[in-house]
Amino acid sequence: ETGVTQTPRHLVMGMTNKKSLKCEQHLGHNAMYWYKQSAKKPLELMFVYSLEERVENNSVPSRFSPECPNSSHLFLHLHTLQPEDSALYLCASSPRRGSQETQYFGPGTRLLVL
Amino acid sequence: GNSVTQMEGPVTLSEEAFLTINCTYTATGYPSLFWYVQYPGEGLQLLLKATKADDKGSNKGFEATYRKETTSFHLEKGSVQVSDSAVYFCALQGGSEKLVFGKGTKLTVNP
């Protein structure tokens, strides 16, 4: 499955670093999502973008800053993270927003904050 | 609010055994229901889905039936293979695009 790609696949960063996660979808979809998967917790939706406009922010700390320059690309900019932010960050896309739209996931970026 | 409860793992089976992973949900209205699978080191892949009551989703020998009367969407496979070893997530999608996931069930299939 190469519909949704994410880079890098693994990232180690210090708490004072600034890094960015990249997601690209090749499916012609108009909605994109960031999820966080922590150990022993259900997946948590972080952000939703529709046609490059952020439509949902689920109380995510400001040290996570998303950017969607076009409908195919989604970034998650990271700065001054905490060790508890270590997790698998998953990107997903769907044809459009809506409860009937199936979301397709990328392979994820495994982040370790030291 | 909406929630999903799936059986605690881990589940360990021998090859060719029958698999059931239970999933129940709480939701208002008529959600869509999904099973996603996550193989080691990878992201989530959609395994199957059902969008209305009594629908049966199926893929790769896996099946799940949307049971509104019991608010369940149990995953079954008649004969598992070593390659089915993964973590399985039940999820629902209610009145918005927000997916609500269960905690996941880790399946290990031994040869």
Each residue's pLDDT tens digit, B32-75: 999 999 998 888 899 999 999 999 999 999 999 999 999 999 99
In which band, very low, low, confident or very high, does the pLDDT at A2 lie, cut at 50, 70 and 90?
low
For A43, the closest of B49, B94, B101 (CB atoms) is: B101
CA distance A86 to A95: 29
Q: Which of A58, A93, A103, A104 to mutate to test the interface with B (most CBs of B within 10 A)?
A: A103
Question: Torsion over CA of A97, A45, A91 and A94, rounded to 10 degrees?
Answer: -20
Q: Which residues contact B32 (CB under 8 A, 6 or more apart)?
A: A99, A100, B49, B50, B51, B92, B93
Is the Cβ pair B98, A43 closer than 8 Å? no
In which band, very low, low, confident or very high, does the pLDDT at A21 lie, cut at 50, 70 and 90?
very high
CA distance A94 to B73: 22
Is the Cβ pair B46, A101 closer than 8 Å? no
Name the residue in chain A with its Cα closest to that of B102. Answer: A42
**CA B103-B7-A111 angle, 5° bins:** 20
In which band, very low, low, confident or very high, does the pLDDT at A85 lie, cut at 50, 70 and 90?
very high
Angstrom distances, CA of residue A79 to CA of A8, A13, A33, B24: 16, 10, 19, 38
CA distance A8 to A23: 9
* Residue pairs between chains A and B whose CB atoms are closer than 8 Å: 59
In the predicted structure, residue A1 carries a pLDDT above the cut 60: no
Beta-bridge mates of residue A104: A93
A3 part of contact set with chain B, CB < 8 Å: no
Q: Which residues contact B66 (CB under 8 A, 6 or more apart)?
A: B33, B50, B51, B52, B53, B54, B55, B56, B57, B73
Of A39-48, A85-94, B43-52, minimum mean pLDDT range = A39-48
A16 or B81, which is more confident? B81
| Mean residue pLDDT across chain B | 93
